[in-house]
Structure 1
Amino acid sequence: MMTEPKRLTGLLQSVVEPDRVVALRDNTGVTMQDFQHRVADWQLAAEQQPAAVFGVYIKDTFEFAAALFGLWYAGKTALLMGDRLPATIEQIKGRVGALAGDFDEPLTLPVIRQPEPATRGKVRSFPALDPAHPAVIVLTSGSTGTPKLVPMALAQLDDEVAMHEAQWGLVAGQSAVIGTVSHQHIYGLLWRVLWPLAGGRPFVSELCQYAEDALAHASRLPSSVLVTTPSHLSRWPCQTGEKAEGNWRLVVSSTAPLALEHSVFGRDYFGVPVTEIFGSSETGGIAWRQQTEDEVWTTLKGIAVDCDPESGALLLQSPLLGHQNWLKTGDRAEVFDRNRFRLLGRLDRIAKIEGKRVSLTRMESRLTAHPRVTEARVVVLEGRRTETAVVAALDESGQRWLETEGKRAVSRALRQWLADDFETPVLPRRWRLVDALPRNAQGKVPQHNLMVLFDKSGGTTPEAGVLNDNRLPVLLGQEWLAANQVQLHLRVQPELAFFQGHFDELPVLPGVAQIHWAEHYARALFNEKLASRDTFSRMETVKFQELIRPGREVFMELTLQPERSRFVFRLHDGDTAFSSGRMVFDALQEPI
């Protein structure tokens, strides 16, 4: 029987079911009483630090939830970190006074790693939390790649959780919540942590990075809710006609639009319609739809929409905004009434190329109308001249077309496809033909991930991810950490040659491929700095610690040590180390 949903502010104020299971860790139930004790541990630890804002990164969802409430009861604010990479820590240094969670390396900021459990006795009483308390700060890049801080009061989180509970609480019941998305981002925070806590349903503490993990959990549970994204659903491995293990009550998808074919797949596979949530970090949740039932979006309770008569922009009135004024969003929409609308894409992005105005949105729409293009993004490159450039994802027939005809012929054909609708000066001059657009962990396509595909950096940036080389990963991003240190964000696409006909039962990326990639990118990026780079000598201290499966996103860190005639490589995902080693060359390098 389902318990009455609670407000987050009073969740721990008067607990009537201390033995109720709130989380599943290693298939073992963790009770509300355990949660209260752990919140108290984190509160005590946080109160010892003068910092008002803590950067938080904790892999385990139960521990993360306890830390979050502990920080709130200590009067602190949590800045949610998407990872614990050195570049991310450097980025937030001026915005936080301390860190909390899984941080191993020596850092300049104070760190609460894992508070020691206090002596367990009677559960202490907790007062109600202040709804106005600044609860979290979300660090979001949006579509521009420029970091943006989005602060949220506890009342905003509480109100949105209440909206979701009112809409889906009865459907979900006390089903356990399983997630393929991190709780370190707002979507995962709301749906994997706060919504289950408020609704009295347990959550699986482990992040399910593979479909097999989610299915394994579901097979052991009476019923389940899946919190996922379009990028996971579009790559979910299964045979034609296969049905998912487990009893699925609700499947939720957010962060990006879900293609109709993947919505149909989800319904047929899980046995329930996929529920899409539309919203953003800045606006909170806005609306929902089940595309296999109706393509029109319906607003969450208490939210109203309208359409700007001049621009066609979707106008939003929501209690989650903290005011009653209408907010103009960046989306075009056809509004049927105050609660139902159809999205028509982003508002036109207008660029001026050689004195001609061009709609990048319209150009993208025309490209995706091509029978062999699944998705496309158009960007503007500034150099000796301003020009448009395209990143286009091809379907299977498009991939075969590319392999047969080559990049130049395909690019020329796609340019001709645009020629009837656009003047010659604005037609794209540069093309990147990929198997999938470079999405981040939330399934979005940041502008930075697109621009880096065209960043030559003096002619040394590798063009990874193009389909005419299926031995290299998709390059999602590149960042120089120091003069001789670079970090690449890579996606290990399932179509790589290394997975063809090898390890059919459990496909993994061979170690030799990882070494090949390290050498390839080191040669391309360090270029002339890597003197005598053709005289390879030996490998040193090579370690393969964890398996890399198809579809995984990883970071490759390369550090040149010219005085020792070698470079060091490390593959990781910000939390798990996959491999590392050194490649040594015969001749000493000249110090740079």
Structure 2
Amino acid sequence: MKSIAGKVFFTAISVLYPVLVFCGMEFWGLSPRRLSILLLALAFYQFLNFTRNRGAGELGRANSIKAAVLVVLILVCGVVSFFADNILFLKFYPVLVNLSLLAFFGFTLWKKPSFVFRMANLGDKTIKTSPSRNYVERYCDRVTFAWCIFFVANACVSATTVFVGSDRLWSLYNGLFSYILIGVFFAVEFLIRKIMQSKLQSYVPVCDLELNSRPEGAVVSFDGESVKTWSDFTSDVSKVRSFLESRDNCPWILHCEDSYFFVVALLAMLQSGRKALVTANRQDAFIKEIKKPEYGFITDEPFGTAADGASLIQDILEGETSDTANLKFGKFDKSKAEMVMYTSGTTGEPKAVFKLFLQFENELFELVKVFGNDWVDHKVYSTVNHHHIYGLLFSVLLPIATGLPFRRRRIDFPQELAGLVNEKAVIASSPAYLKRLAADSDKPFDFKCAPIIYSSGGPLPKEVAERACELTGYWTMEIYGSTETGGIAYRQSKNGPVWTPFEVCKMSLGENDCLNVKSSYILEPDGFTTGDLVDIYDDGRFLLKGRSDSIVKIEEKRISLPEVENRLKQTGLVQDVRVVPMVGKRQYLAAAIVLNAEGREKFAGSTKLQMNNFFHDYLVKFIENTVSPKKWRYLEELPQNTEGKIRMRDVQALFGLAESPNFRILKFRRETGVLTAKLIFPATSDYYDGHFPEFKLLPAVVQVDMVLKLARNFLDVPKELSKIHRTKFANPIFPDTPVNVKISYDEEAGKVSFNYTDELGEKTLSNGSFTMNVGGLNG
């Protein structure tokens, strides 16, 4: 108690020092020598504090040095005043105090964090772990710098009053006006701080949202002139939650095209303890596969027989009553809330990826920490499906967690961006949309504030990102990740192709040199090994080098090649099949099919177009049309190497050769420098026109041309023919009669040799050789 009383007493003396000195001289008749005792007492008190409270660390040492210097200067002024009996040195005390505070505040700007930020952390323990920490720290640095300027100005005015003006002016300024200025400065800073706080990212974890987390009138979602407020949102979640809790506790499938309906239903499921099964695929056959009799189903658009018995969310909201005094809306345990997201697996069956909402919360925190400050005062728009993890996070969960309004409907066409030119917009987009934007837009959009654009689902070509920047004023921020891993890294391709991992993601090389990721939103202790080949740099950044597994992305939609293959086999007409990704003007899939006996019987006499349409129509029952194969080949057997393995690059080479009605490849095998193929030339082939009209034979020139086609496509021989050495045409090749051809290529000599035989390989039909122009050395 004595210690506290002493501190109060000496603090009062310090504050009232100018007034006490003035009164001592004007009213109490005290000499400067006697008044210097007051200054010496303050020096002694500062010395005691210095010796008792020596701090640790850089800030503590800086405070100790400041206190020691201040004690020495005050002591010097007090001693000089005592022996010289001069009032001048007594007046220097306020100047010394301002200079010591200036030194201390300035030191914390040099050795971060600043003093104001340290004080802010004492008042709010959550700042250090807040996603807005960087924003708060920058603001506190500016406030600290402003205080330094104030101390400089105050010290200068205080020093002026020492030498200029009367004792009364010195006492009034340092004992009254100086404190008023400090109060005004603090009040102005307080008002500015409140304004800044209102603009500050208001991040609340989704699992911690409560009725009072937002103002009742705050806009949650919008669609044209129609808006949904926080009051509407909490009421709607409460209605759906009441509906769920009145049913058995079972998993619920969720598919709502409307983003607002989706997040209402999702939060109702999580808050009521129901497992949410989120599926972007609403193909009838797919829903039947994942839906069990006891499962519930909430949707906003009825579709197919699989949705029979599904609950329309519109009916739930209209049918349930809402007791505003007792709304069912509040926190839930993120470590127990369960979700399942469906993605393509390597087995061909829909792959269910189990998630705890804890994983989403950890990722949301990281995303807000990295990107959140850019979103202040913006509205959120999306061109992507919120049933996928990227769309779920960026277009639904992030807006809910940060209090930013989001549009209920997706942006489908590039032209719709013209309606956003007056908005501050955040746009969750994809490479497919941005490619269309770059191709379809002639002139830049007149955005008053450049939109913030994100892209995920596949690498964005740099030329597309550059064109999108020309049109919108923003260089797209790309996000790399997957359903299993969440967001792994980000980049803007203007800075190069290298990816920067999020702070919580730890990169390493896993099996087969694929990327292994560990993070706070991956449950497995050993992390998750992706199918992506990478080079990892010393600073942690990495370069993607392609995929090693059978999961591919077509138009940014993830699809499993085995899934498509197994679906085709389910027709009962396919003996073997391989589906491969191809790249032309755009990405697409191609399917090479070997029919079984039932298939050959069914399609006997059918055209190829009819066969294509049959398999296509069957597939779109299970997968989206955009990822169904666009090219088809029907073979007698799939290409194999000597080990009996079917290689993707061989099948891709088959589709590299343009399809023609003049010939068909029935089967082939490719090894290094050698191709063997079985061909058939239909009677309707143009190759027979004009040659032997009464007795159709395949012309010699066509046979040579066919060899060149095959050699260039499968063996990568040079395009230019240099010299034909010899050809021998021993037996005719008739229409609709299968023949075999063997082509060999000697790369060193640039020599191509060929040999046509009958179907059994017993009779030679023709053979020959010729030289290709290799780098201009031959011929």
Q: How far apart in 2 are the matches of 1:385 and 1:492?
A: 22
Q: Is the 8 A contact 1:227 1:252 kept in 2?
A: yes
Which of the two has greater helix per residue? Answer: 2
Letter in 1 for 2:618: E
Q: Which segment is superposed worse, 94-103 or 316-325?
A: 94-103
**Given the alignment, which residue of 207, 213, 219 partners 2:410?**
207
CA distance in 1 between counterparts of 2:242 and 2:504 reads 38
Matches within 5 A, 1:525-564: none
- Alignment CA distance shift 1:34-1:386 (3 Å): closer
What does the per-residue CA deviation read over 1:103-122, in whole Å, with 9 as the maximum and x for residues that have no partner?
A: 53675555354312524634
Q: CA deviation at 1:298?
A: 0.7
1:240-319 equivalence runs, <5 A: 240-243=442-445, 245=447, 247-308=449-510, 311-319=512-520
Give the secondary structure class of the aligned counterpart of 2:495.
Answer: coil
1:18 to partner: Cα distance: 1.9
**Do the aligned partners of 2:346 and 2:561 also contact (CA within 8 Å) in 1?**
no
What corresponds to 2:327 in structure 1? 124
Give the distance between the partners of 2:574 and 2:399, measured in 1 at CA: 54
Whether 1:337 aligns to 2:538 is yes
Q: What is the alpha-carbon distance in structure 1 between the residues aligned to residue 574 and residue 347 of structure 2?
A: 22
The Cα of 1:137 is off from its aligned counterpart by 0.8
1:292 aligned counterpart, secondary structure: helix
Post-superposition Cα deviations, 1:13-62, rounded to whole Å, max 9, x if no partner, equal 54242211111123333211111001001101111221421111112111
Instruction: Summarize deviations over 1:447-468 as a string: whole Å, max 9, x none.
Output: xx544x7476547598779xxx
Look up the match of 1:320.
521
Q: Deviations over 1:297-356 (max 9, x none)?
A: 111121111224x7322121111112442433211111113631111111377xxxxxxx
Matches within 5 A, 1:9-408: 9-12=207-210, 14-94=212-292, 97-104=295-302, 107=307, 109=309, 111-114=311-314, 115=316, 116=318, 117-119=320-322, 121-122=324-325, 124=327, 126-142=329-345, 145-216=348-419, 218-221=420-423, 223-236=424-437, 237-243=439-445, 245=447, 247-308=449-510, 311-337=512-538, 339-347=540-548, 392-395=582-585
- After superposition, the Cα gap between the structure-2 partners of 1:98 and 1:301, relative to the gap in structure 1 and judged at 3 Å, is same
TM-score for the superposition, normalised by structure 2:
0.47
Once the two structures are TM-superposed, the CA of residue 129 in structure 1 deviates from its matched residue by: 0.8
Please state how far the C-alpha of 1:193 moved relative to its aligned partner: 0.4
Distance 2:214 2:584 in 1: 55
CA distance in 1, matches of 2:607, 2:208: 53
Alpha-carbon distance between aligned partners in 2 of 1:305 and 1:215, rounded to the nearest angstrom: 40
In 2, are the aligned partners of 1:140 and 1:149 still within 8 Å (CA)?
yes
- The residue aligned with 1:513 is none
> Are the counterparts in 2 of residues 267 and 273 from structure 1 also a CA contact under 8 Å?
yes
Q: Shift of residue 191 of structure 1?
A: 0.8
Q: Per residue, is there more strand in 1 or in 2?
A: 1
Three-state SS of the structure 2 residue aligned to 1:321 is coil
Indicate how the Cα distance of structure 1 residues 119 and 8 shifts in structure 2: closer, same or farther if over 3 A, else same: closer
Contact 1:97 1:109 in 2 (8 A): no
Q: Percent identity, aligned pairs only?
A: 23
Cα distance 1:492–1:288, how it changes in 2: closer, same or farther (>3 A)? closer
The 1-side partners of 2:232 and 2:496 are apart by 43
Q: Deviations over 1:501-556 (max 9, x none)?
A: xxxxxxxxxxxxxxxxxxxxxxxxxxxxxxxxxxxxxxxxxxxxxxxxxxxxxxxx
Contact 2:214 2:403 in 1 (8 A): no
Matched residue SS, 1:138: strand
SS at match of 1:140: strand
In structure 1, what is the Cα distance between the partners aligned to 2:609 and 2:380? 36
SS of residue paired to 1:248: coil
Give the CA deviation at 1:3.
Answer: 3.5
Match of 1:522 in 2: none
**Residues 142-163 of structure 1: per-residue CA shift (max 9 Å, x gap):** 5664310011111111111111
Note if contact 1:180-1:209 (Cα within 8 Å) is conserved in structure 2: yes
Hey, what's the Cα distance between the residues in 2 that align with 1:163 and 1:178?
20
Tell me the CA shift for residue 387 of structure 1: 9.3
Distance 1:61 1:241 in 2: 31
Q: Output the CA distance in 2 between the equivalents of 1:220 and 1:462.
A: 54
Letter in structure 1 aligned against 2:517: L
Shift of 1:219: 3.1
Cα gap change, 1:292/1:334 in structure 2, threshold over 3 Å: closer, same or farther? same
| Structure-2 separation of matches of 1:253 and 1:137 | 23
- Could you say what secondary structure the match of 2:324 adopts? coil
Are the counterparts in 1 of residues 422 and 448 from structure 2 also a CA contact under 8 Å?
yes
Q: Is the 8 A contact 2:421 2:445 kept in 1?
A: no
How many angstroms apart in 2 are the aligned matches of 1:65 and 1:291?
32
Q: Residues 337 and 124 of structure 1: is their aligned pair in 2 closer, same or farther, counting only changes over 3 Å?
A: farther
- The question of 1:437 aligning with 2:638 is answered no
What runs of 5+ residues in structure 2 fail to find an aligned partner?
Answer: 1-198, 553-559, 629-779
**Compared with structure 1, are the counterparts of its residues 321 and 491 closer, same or farther at alpha carbon in structure 2 (3 Å cutoff)?**
closer
Question: What SS does structure 1 have at the residue aligned with 2:252?
Answer: strand
Q: Is the 8 A contact 1:51 1:97 kept in 2?
A: no
1:91 partner amino acid: E
Structure 1 Cα separation of the partners of residues 492 and 278 of structure 2? 30
Q: Note the residue ranges of structure 1 that are not aligned, 5 or more in a row.
A: 350-359, 362-376, 396-435, 439-448, 466-471, 494-592
SS in structure 2 opposite 1:235? helix
Contact 2:576–2:593 under 8 Å retained in 1: no
Work out the CA distance in 1 between the residues paired with 2:342 and 2:290.
9
Relative to 1, partners in 2 of residues 1:123 and 1:199: Cα closer, same or farther, differing over 3 Å? farther
**Alignment check: 8 A CA contact 2:240 2:268 kept:** yes
Change over 3 Å in CA distance of 1:220–1:144 after alignment to 2:
farther
> Structure 1 residues 239 and 279 mapped into 2: Cα distance closer, same or farther (>3 Å)?
closer
CA contact (8 A) 1:56 1:79 kept: yes
Distance in 2, matches of 1:43 and 1:292, equals 46
Q: Is the 8 A contact 1:79 1:137 kept in 2?
A: yes
Identify the match of residue 479 of structure 1 among 605, 618, 621.
618
Larger Rg: 2
Following superposition, the deviation at residue 174 of structure 1 comes to: 2.7
* CA RMSD between the two structures: 3.8
Residue type at the aligned position of 2:355: M
Q: How far 1:101 sits from its partner (Å)?
A: 1.7
Q: How many residues align?
A: 405
Counterpart CA distance in 2 for 1:183 and 1:300 is 22
Structure 1 residues 462 and 187, CA, compared in 2 at 3 Å: closer, same or farther?
Answer: farther
Question: What is the distance in 2 between the residues matched to 1:129 and 1:5?
Answer: 17
Cα distance change, pair 298–143 in 1 and its aligned pair in 2 (3 A): farther
Structure with bigger RCO (C-alpha 8 Å, 6+ apart): 1
8 Å contact kept, 2:205–2:401: yes
CA distance in 1, matches of 2:230, 2:251: 26
Mapped contact 1:53–1:79 kept (Cα < 8 A): yes
SS in 1 for 2:618: strand
Q: Distance in 2 between matches of 1:144 and 1:73?
A: 33
Q: Secondary structure at the match of 2:478?
A: strand
